[in-house]
Structure 1
Amino acid sequence: MSVKKLCFTKPLGDVEVFIERKSVKRIRLKVFPDGVVKLSAPLGVPDKYLNDFLKSKTAWIEKSLNYFKATAADELETEIRSGTTTRILGRQIRIMVGEANIHKIKQEGDYVYIQSPATGDNKALQKQFGRWWRKQSKAYFLAAIDRLYPIIAKHGIDKPALQVRRMKTIWGSCSRRHGKINLNYYLYKAPPPCVDYVVLHELAHFLHPKHDQDFYGFLTVHMPDWKERKRILDHEVVRGLGY
């Protein structure tokens, strides 16, 4: 893996781009919420082409880095308190914390109300919020699987089980051997059409294991606008996870 420095205006300054050459069909550029920038390229692509490619993407890289810096606290839920915001299914949601003798969370419209006897304990609030988020996201993902599963059911594929996991670099994965789909804990932030895209993407792998022409043809038949949904995930959803 090599490293190339790009020069940006303040406050970013010099930014390192980690370049990895491997057996992939196309160049993939990722900007992560922690400020890491990675580029994967096919083995035979010349250095000059990669340099020109990065120059053409400098504005997008700078915009992404500044966006993550400006929104990091709210999007990562590093502090749970009244007035902070998060995203649920593409909508900006405000968090309200109130003192109570019970632990309870409910969502009403654009607000999530957290009741807790430990309103001053951020670690306890994070755990409470995390348990609620996992329960809500899993219920939503299961419903999405139920809606889209008939697309592959007619091919004799059993309905896969679901696991929700915190993942740093992908929106989802699947295990054909174990009949299971893994979806990213943070995917619940994405708009519903994007969630459906990831679910269908993983379901499609039970028929077409590789990212080949048959796989993308299957996606296009059943979700003609999948490329736009993927673009939103890669460039607009704050997690910035590559998929």
Structure 2
Amino acid sequence: MRDLLDLGELHAEVTRKAIKHVHLSVLPPAGKVRVAAPQSMPLDTIRLFVVSKLGWIRSQQRKLQAQERETPREFLSKESHYLWGKRYLLEITHADAAPMVSLSPRKLYLQMRPDADQARCEEVLDAWYRQQVRDAVPALLERWQPLLGVKANRVFVQRMKTKWGSCTPASGYIRLNTDLAKKPPECLEYIVVHELIHLLEPTHNARFVALMDMYLPHWQHLRKQLNRLPVRHEDWAY
């Protein structure tokens, strides 16, 4: 069940779920407002909650609209691509063999079949980025799970348009954005810790903030660093 709150210039999409608390999200790229609310909560109560958060909503929208975005990738030689925060120049070669990605100190080599189009190049490179995150996660889990006293049942790495990561505490599942492979390694660590702490505290309340402060004292600096970096160009659709 979905409702639409009309607050003048601001519109908020409301989705009813089997949850106990209201969750408010401001989504990229333009700052669309989405509210997840308990199924029995009256719409007027949700409206009052959203109105009370108008200052925060406007602040988040300004940040999203100001964030730098990558130009669309065309997969041409000499195009800039990134791995763990470092810039590489793309070098495309063709061979009648399986696609392959490799690195030199300054270049990212993408070997493709002669008939490969742009979509296929993107697919191969995305799969490679996904594997980079998958390869980096076990060491982070090995370090942080014992410290936090939690255990993720499964970690998925996937393309995510609106989040760097997510956690489902009931199942113990964590999801990470493939594009984290393009950012500095400490950004991935921050997101992993963030999602693991959600296994202790599902919401972003004062307890969550206190836990982040305790275990990763510079987490707010890392969050700002991640949010300042250019994000993937997308034709966002909702």
TM-score (norm 2): 0.72
Distance, in Å, in 2 between the alignment partners of 1:51 and 1:217 is: 23
C-alpha distance in 1 between matches for 2:190 and 2:53: 31
Alpha-carbon deviation of 1:24?
Answer: 5.8
Query: Distance in 2 between the 1:53 and 1:158 partners?
Result: 33
Q: C-alpha separation between the residues in 2 aligned to 1:50 and 1:209?
A: 23
Tell me if the contact between 1:233 and 1:240 (Cα under 8 Å) persists in the aligned partners. no
Asked if 1:192 is matched to 2:185, the reply is yes
Whole-Å separation in 2 of the counterparts to 1:53 and 1:207: 26
Query: Does the C-alpha gap of structure 1 residues 109 and 173 become closer, same or farther in structure 2, counting only changes over 3 Å?
Result: same
Measured after TM superposition, the shift of residue 47 of structure 1 is 6.8
The residue aligned with 1:37 is 31
- Give the alignment's Cα RMSD to 1 decimal: 3.5
Deviation at 1:215, TM superposition (A): 1.6
State the distance in 2 between where 1:172 and 1:49 align: 23
**Shift of the alpha carbon at 1:217?**
0.8
Match of 1:94 among 85, 89, 97: 89
8 A Cα contact 1:119 1:125, kept in partner: no
Residue matched to 2:210: 217
**What is the percent sequence identity of the aligned residues?**
24
Alpha-carbon distance in 1 for matches of 2:218, 2:96 = 48
Q: Determine the C-alpha separation between the residues in 2 that align with 1:99 and 1:228.
A: 42
Query: 2:26, 2:61 within 8 Å by CA — same for their partners in 1?
Result: no
Q: Is the 8 A contact 2:75 2:118 kept in 1?
A: yes
Whole-angstrom distance in 1 between the partners of 2:61 and 2:172: 41
Runs of 5+ unmatched residues, structure 1: 6-16
After superposition, give the CA deviation of every residue in 1:82-140 in whole Å (9 maximum; x if it has no partner).
Answer: 12222222222221101223222112223210112226522332222222222222112
Contact preservation (8 Å) 1:172, 1:184: yes
User: What secondary structure does 1:149 align onto?
Assistant: helix
- Mark the runs of 5 or more structure 2 residues left unpaired by the alignment: 16-20, 36-45
For the residue of structure 2 that corresponds to 1:181, the secondary structure is strand
CA contact (8 A) 2:31 2:61 kept: no
In 1, the alpha carbon distance for the partners of 2:52 and 2:124 equals 50
The SS at the match of 2:71 is helix
Report the TM-score when normalising by structure 1. 0.71
